[in-house]
C-alpha cells in the first residue's frame, strides 16, 4: 500500500488556499501553515468598530476564470455582483460599455463616452486597433508612458482612461509600468469577449468571500490549517523537505508567501539561490485605503466612482457591509505618501463633495496603508516558475511567472498550477 503524500503549503493567502483547495479536491490533503492569526494575506477581512471590513477594496473582472471557478467550487460565486464595465468620473468623464457583442461594446462605448473629444476617441480607437492587430504583443517592452506617446494618446485619454486603468490593474505609475503587462490586461478585458470586461464587486467581506469557505473545504477533506505558524526556512535532507521548527518531513512543499519573504525562506537551499536573488530584486508599490463611516448611506447610483483632481482615485459605496460605509482607494506611490493623515482625509473629502451631491456628515475614518501591496509591474520583469530546481518544492503567489500583474487571478492560477504539478509528480512516481 502506498503512503499518503505529505504536503505542506506555507502561506494562507489566495495562492496558498487555492492550492490547498485544489489538492483537497483531488483527494490530496495538505497542511497550510499561516504566520498570521487569520487567512487571506493581502486580501483579508479586518474588524473595525465591530464591522467586518477589508484591508483594501478588491475588484475582480469577468476574465478572472480560475478565481471564478474556485469561488463556484466553494459555493461563493453569488457573493459577487456582476456589472458591465462602467467608468464614471463625475462630472468630467463617463465610459459605459453597452451589453453588445465584442468588439462592438468597446466601439460604441467609446463613441458615446462623455468627456472625450472626437480627436480623443479616434486616437483611442486607433490605439486599441493597433494593439489588437499585433495580438497585444509588443516587439519590445517599454514603459506605458512611452507606448502612449508612440500612439499619440492625448492628455484627456491618459488622465481619464489609461492612467486609472494602469493604476487599478498594475498598481504602478505609468512612467514605470510595463507596457506589455498593460497590453496583456487589455487583451483579456477590453480586447476579449464582452463578459470578460464585466466588473465583479464583492458583496461580502473578503474573508467571507473565499478564505473562510476554503478553510472549511480543506478541513472537510482531511487537510489542516495551522494559524500563527511562521515558517522561517525550508531545508532538505535525505528523508525529504523540512520546515524550520518542525519535526515532520514533507514530500512536497509549496512556498506561497509574499515575495518579500521568499528569499529568507530559501536561504538554506543553494539550488534556489538564483530564484532568491531574482525575487530579492523586485520593487514594491503601496495601496492606501481610506475607510469612511458616514452618518447616512451614500446611495450612489453606481457602486464605484472614479475621483479626479486629488489623491483619491476611486470611491466605493460599501453600504452592503455596514450602514454609511464607503472606501476610497489610492493606488501606487505619489505625493499622497508624504501627506499627513488629516491632510489626506481633508483632500479626499474635498473630492467627495465635488463628486457626491449632499455628502452625509462623516462619523469616523480609518486609513490602511499596505506598503508592499503589489510588486512593481515594470518592463521586462523576470518572474520565477512554479516548479523549482529542487524536486518537491514549488512556488505559488501573484509574483510567479504569468503575464498578469499582481492580482487575485495571478495568485489563484499559481496555486492551482502548483497543485497540478504535485498531482502529476505523485502520479508518475506511483
Ligand atoms: C490594498 C490592496 C488592494 C488590492 N486590490 C486588488 C484588486 O482590486 N484586484 C486584484 O485582483 N488584486 C488586488 N490586489 C492584489 C491581491 O490582493 C494580491 O495579488 C493577492 O492577494 C496575493 O495573494 P498571494 O497569496 O500571492 O500573497 P499574499 O496575500 O501575500 O499571501 C501570502 C501569505 O503568506 C503568509 N506568510 C508570509 N510569510 C510566511 C511565513 N514565513 N510562514 C507562514 N506564512 C507566511 C502571509 O501572512 C500571507 O497570508 C490588492 C492588494 C492590496 C494589498
Domain boundary assignment for the chain: 7-76+204-282+379-429, 85-197, 284-375
Q: What are 56-85's pLDDT values in tens digits?
A: 999 999 999 999 999 999 999 999 999 988
Which among 74, 67, 75, 181 is positioned nearest to 412, based on CA atoms? 67
Name the residue of 13, 20, 328 to mutate for ligand 1: max ligand atoms within 8 A of Cβ: 13
Q: What are 332-377's pLDDT values in tens digits?
A: 999 999 999 999 999 999 999 999 988 999 999 999 999 999 999 9
Closest residue to atom 30 of ligand 1, CA basis: 258
Q: Is the CB of 368 under 6 A from ligand 1?
A: no
CA-to-CA separations, 182 to 102, 110, 229, 407, in angstroms, rounded: 20, 19, 37, 13
| pTM confidence score | 0.96
The whole-number pLDDT of residue 90 equals 85
Fold exhibited by the domain 85-197: protoporphyrinogen ix oxidase, domain 3 (1.10.3110)
Domain 7-76+204-282+379-429, CATH 2.40.40.20 — does that match?
no
User: For a pLDDT cut of 90, what percent of the chain falls above it?
Assistant: 87
Q: What does the pLDDT average to over 147-172? A: 96
Find the 316 Cα to ligand 1 centroid distance in Å. 21
Which atom of ligand 1 is nearest to 409's Cα? 11
Q: What are 406-425's pLDDT values in tens digits?
A: 999 999 999 999 999 999 99
Which atom of ligand 1 is nearest to 398's Cα? 26
Q: What are the start-end ranges of the H helices in 26-95?
A: 65-73
Chain-centroid distance, C-alpha 427: 32
Q: Is the CB of 311 under 6 A from ligand 1?
A: no
Same fold, 7-76+204-282+379-429 and 85-197: no
What region, left, alpha or beta, does residue 141 occupy, with left being phi > 0 and alpha being psi -120 to 50 degrees? Answer: beta
The whole-number pLDDT of residue 3 equals 60
Fold exhibited by the domain 284-375: Polyamine Oxidase; Chain A, domain 2 (3.90.660)
CA-to-CA separations, 187 to 133, 134, 184, 191, 403, in angstroms, rounded: 11, 11, 5, 4, 11
3-state secondary structure at position 326: strand
- Element housing 304 (H / E): strand 304-306
Which atom of ligand 1 is nearest to 368's Cα? 1
Q: Is the CB of 10 under 6 A from ligand 1?
A: yes
Find the 253 Cα to ligand 1 centroid distance in Å. 19
Alpha-carbon distance of 242 to 268, in angstroms, equals 11
Which atom of ligand 1 is nearest to 287's Cα? 1
The mean pLDDT value of the chain amounts to 95
Amino acid at each position: 500500500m502506498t503512503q499518503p503524500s505529505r504536503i505542506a503549503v506555507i502561506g494562507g493567502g489566495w495562492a496558498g488556499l487555492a492550492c490547498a483547495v485544489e489538492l483537497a479536491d483531488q483527494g490530496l490533503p495538505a497542511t497550510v501553515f499561516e504566520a498570521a492569526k487569520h487567512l487571506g494575506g493581502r486580501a483579508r477581512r479586518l474588524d473595525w468598530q465591530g464591522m467586518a471590513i477589508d484591508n483594501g477594496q478588491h475588484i475582480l473582472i469577468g476574465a478572472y476564470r480560475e478565481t471564478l471557478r474556485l469561488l463556484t467550487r466553494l459555493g461563493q460565486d453569488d457573493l459577487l455582483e456582476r456589472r458591465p464595465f462602467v467608468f464614471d468620473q463625475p462630472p468630467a468623464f463617463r465610459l459605459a460599455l453597452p451589453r453588445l457583442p465584442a468588439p462592438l461594446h468597446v466601439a460604441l462605448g467609446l463613441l458615446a463616452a462623455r468627456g472625450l473629444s472626437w480627436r480623443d476617441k479616434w486616437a483611442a480607437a486607433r490605439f486599441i486597433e493597433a494593439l489588437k492587430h499585433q495580438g497585444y504583443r509588443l516587439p519590445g517592452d517599454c514603459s506605458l508612458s512611452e507606448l502612449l506617446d508612440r500612439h499619440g494618446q492625448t492628455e484627456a485619454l491618459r488622465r481619464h482612461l489609461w492612467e486609472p486603468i494602469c493604476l487599478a490593474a498594475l498598481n504602478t505609475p505609468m512612467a514605470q509600468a510595463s507596457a506589455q503587462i498593460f497590453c496583456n490586461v487589455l487583451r483579456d478585458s477590453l480586447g476579449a469577449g464582452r463578459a470578460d470586461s464585466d466588473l465583479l464587486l464583492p458583496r461580502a467581506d473578503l474573508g467571507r468571500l473565499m478564505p473562510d469557505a476554503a478553510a472549511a473545504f480543506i478541513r472537510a477533506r482531511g487537510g489542516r490549517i495551522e494559524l500563527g505558524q511562521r515558517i522561517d526556512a525550508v531545508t532538505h535532507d535525505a528523508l525529504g523537505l523540512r520546515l524550520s521548527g518542525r519535526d515532520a518531513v514533507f514530500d512536497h512543499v509549496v512556498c506561497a508567501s509574499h515575495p518579500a519573504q521568499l528569499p529568507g525562506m530559501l536561504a538554506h537551499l543553494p539550488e534556489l539561490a538564483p530564484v532568491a536573488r531574482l525575487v530579492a530584486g523586485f520593487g514594491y508599490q503601496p495601496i492606501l485605503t481610506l475607510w469612511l463611516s458616514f452618518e447616512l448611506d451614500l446611495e450612489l447610483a453606481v457602486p464605484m466612482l472614479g475621483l479626479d483632481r486629488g489623491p483619491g482615485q476611486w470611491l466605493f459605496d460599501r453600504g452592503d457591509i455596514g450602514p454609511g460605509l464607503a472606501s476610497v482607494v489610492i493606488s501606487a506611490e505619489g505625493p499622497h505618501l508624504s501627506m499627513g493623515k488629516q491632510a489626506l482625509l481633508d483632500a479626499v473629502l474635498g473630492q467627495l463633495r465635488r463628486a457626491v451631491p449632499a455628502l452625509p456628515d462623516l462619523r469616523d475614518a480609518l486609513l490602511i496603508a499596505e506598503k508592499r501591496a503589489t510588486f512593481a509591474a515594470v518592463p521586462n520583469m523576470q518572474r520565477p516558475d512554479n516548479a523549482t530546481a529542487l524536486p518537491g518544492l514549488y512556488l505559488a503567489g501573484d509574483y510567479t511567472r504569468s503575464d498578469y500583474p499582481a492580482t487575485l487571478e495571478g495568485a489563484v492560477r499559481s496555486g492551482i498550477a502548483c497543485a497540478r504539478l504535485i498531482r502529476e509528480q505523485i502520479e508518475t512516481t506511483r
